[in-house]
Amino acid sequence: MTRRLLLIDTETTGLDSSRHEVWEIAVAERHGPEHLWRIEPDLTLAEPKALEVGRFYERTANTTRHSDPGLVCDVAGYRGADAYWSAPRKLAPILARLLDGATIVAANPTFDAGFLTALLRKHGQAATWHYRLRDIGSMAYGYLSACLALGVEGRDAALGVPSIDASTDDFAKALGVDPDQFERHSALGDCRLLAAMLDVIEGRKS
């Protein structure tokens, strides 16, 4: 059985899914559409560093409340003058159906899945994606280690094989992907970086 492969990334107001909230969610269907939603968070318990890393105020300056608070705005395909916040109670069932049964690939899948699960549960939905989450770092480590062992040309460059707990940027560089070409710490930008890394791992790009 071949499952749908979805690349995901989130931006949040902190690291604890029991106290903090997800405010940006990107889902990129492998070789398919990209989706991006923003949910207006309660910043009372927000960690300032988390907002700084995600450039919350800068990147949401043109994200507004719609006159109809019950709508959902897929920012990835939105052509309006200003994007608007999505209503979480309306977005939750859309997300639940999109993620249902899919294999999730992320830079930090446990983190992202935890925040998405909290969002879905809060609004009466369940997390029914495949239980085996895929970590892009682990995938890259295995690929690079195999290439090195087999003597695959170009994959044992100066950087060598990063340690298994290296950063996503380190793995991207070792794969020949420049992370600076993507809008880092934005949910959709990080999903696009994952896609570029998968292209190398799957042999779609040398």
CA-based nearest residue to 140, from 124, 120, 159 = 159
Q: How far apart are CA 40 and CA 27, in angstroms?
A: 18
Contact 116, 10 (CB under 8 A): yes
Domains of the chain: 5-122 (3.30.420.10), 136-201 (no CATH)
What is the distance between the alpha carbons of residues 163 and 154, in angstroms, rounded to a whole number?
18
CB 111 within 8 A of CB 8: no
How do 5-12 and 103-106 pair as beta strands?
parallel
- Give CA–CA dist 50/168, Å, rounded: 18
Q: Which of 177, 174, 168 is nearest to 197 (CA)?
A: 177
Are the CB atoms for 73 and 79 separated by under 8 Å?
no
Asked whether the beta carbons of 171 and 145 are under 8 A apart, the reply is no
pLDDT tens-digit profile of 125-181?
999 999 999 999 999 999 999 888 887 765 545 457 899 999 999 999 999 999 999
For 6-41, give the secondary structure using H, E and C: EEEEEEECCCCCCCCCEEEEEEEECCCCEEEEECCC
H/E run at residue 103: strand 103-106
pLDDT digits over 68-119, tens only? 888 999 999 887 777 899 999 999 999 999 999 999 999 999 999 999 999 9
Q: Mean of the pLDDT values across residues 24-53?
A: 97
Per-residue confidence (pLDDT) for residue 127, from 0 to 100: 97
**Do 174 and 196 form a contact (C-beta atoms < 8 A)?**
no
